[in-house]
Structure 1
Amino acid sequence: MSGRSVEVALWKAGRLKIRYPAEVVAGAGTRLTVRAPWAAEGVRDFGFVRFEPGDVFVEHYWSDRWYTVKEVWAAEGTLKGWYCDVTRPAVIGPAGVTVEDLDLDLWVSADGSEVLRLDEDEFAASGLAASDPEAAERAVTALDELERLGRRGLVELLAG
């Protein structure tokens, strides 16, 4: 399975946000790990981190968890940190993975000194709490879990 090319599709609010090729690093059971170059055009500067051409993402998806974790590596091989997306559980198939972004995100810097909850305003404005209260509750629980894991370095999450 390792080394095989697959496609990652990220959906948000019922629309395809981005689709890109990735290489399978590992996959077993409910988890798939892929590697892909920064797929968007140009630089995306968040203030706390910059995603830019040459960056490499090692992305971890689970079909039984409400989040994904992306290790962000600079072109020269240094770890920038982890960008965690709260999503519905991933749909993992032979051709790749599909996830639905639920607006909540978490950033954990490489040295662990920054653990930032992101986009809570977007999540509130999305209307998910009214349209799908169960999913909204799971999303908030997932963000809380990611923050707890982030403060411990994400080591236990990515090791298992």
Structure 2
Amino acid sequence: MRLAPGREVMVRLVKYGREKLAYAATVVDDDGTHLAVRAEFAGDGPKDLGYVWFEPGDVFTEHYWRDRWYSVKEVVGADGVRKGWYCDICRPAVVDGDSAVASGLASVVAEDLDLDLWRSADGTKILRLDEDEYADSGLAERDPAAAAQAELALDTLEKLAQQGFDELLAF
């Protein structure tokens, strides 16, 4: 099912079977496999990640795939300047266009698998993140097939980040 541009959706980020974050977003495009939504930063206040600040007013254009083990989020500051791309290694997105959640909105669910990647706007920083958290998660023991997909997805994203994400994110 494709979601129409302009439609509001609820993005639900899940980790270890629990919802860790949910926020409203607006569909930018959806070709049935690749879905892009746009949302403002969902945090309560500024968040210093050490390599970038996420702040109120930042706009995230988030790309999800129904058949890939990652998502890519372009981050643009309130001043219109691109900060970079935050990438989550996650199971393929599940899109429910007829969601019966209390909000009445369709939902986009991404299950976080702990690994992340950051690419700065100028491409000078490409950082593999949370590999220790991933190792501690026990995914490799619990679900070896998912762990193999997660590790392959991180390697793939790192290669794509070196070239830039323009081609990957195009519809």
CA distance in 1, matches of 2:170, 2:12: 25
Question: Aligned residues: percent identity?
Answer: 61
TM-score, normalised to structure 1's length? 0.98
Q: Assess if the C-alpha contact under 8 Å between 1:34 and 1:60 holds in 2.
A: yes
CA distance in 2, matches of 1:137, 1:70: 23
Give yes or no for the alignment of 1:98 onto 2:109: yes
1:128 equivalent in structure 2: 139
Equivalent residue pairs, number: 160
Give yes or no for the alignment of 1:4 onto 2:15: no
Give 1:111's aligned amino acid. D
CA distance in 2, matches of 1:49, 1:90: 25
Matched ranges for 1:37-76 at <5 A: 37-76=40-79
CA distance in 1, matches of 2:153, 2:35: 18
- SS of the aligned residue for 1:105 comes to strand
1:27 equivalent in structure 2: 30
Of 149, 152, 159, the residue aligned with 1:148 is 159
TM-score, normalised to structure 2's length? 0.92
Give yes or no for the alignment of 1:13 onto 2:24: no
- SS of the aligned residue for 1:156 comes to helix
Q: Assess if the C-alpha contact under 8 Å between 1:32 and 1:92 holds in 2.
A: no
CA distance in 1, matches of 2:6, 2:170: 20
CA shift at 1:28, angstroms? 1.2
Moved over 2 A (4+): none
CA distance in 2, matches of 1:69, 1:138: 16
CA distance in 1, matches of 2:77, 2:160: 23
CA distance in 2, matches of 1:137, 1:66: 10
Q: Assess if the C-alpha contact under 8 Å between 1:102 and 1:123 holds in 2.
A: yes
Give 1:97's aligned amino acid. V
CA shift at 1:93, angstroms? 2.2
- SS of the aligned residue for 1:61 comes to strand
For each residue in 1:5-47, what CA deviation from the matched residue of structure 2 results, as whole angstroms up to 9, or x when unmatched? 1100000011100010000100112111000000011111011
- SS of the aligned residue for 1:85 comes to strand
- SS of the aligned residue for 1:112 comes to coil
- The alignment's C-alpha RMSD in Å is 0.8
For each residue in 1:96-128, what CA deviation from the matched residue of structure 2 results, as whole angstroms up to 9, or x when unmatched? 200100000000000111100000000000000
Of 135, 138, 141, the residue aligned with 2:149 is 138
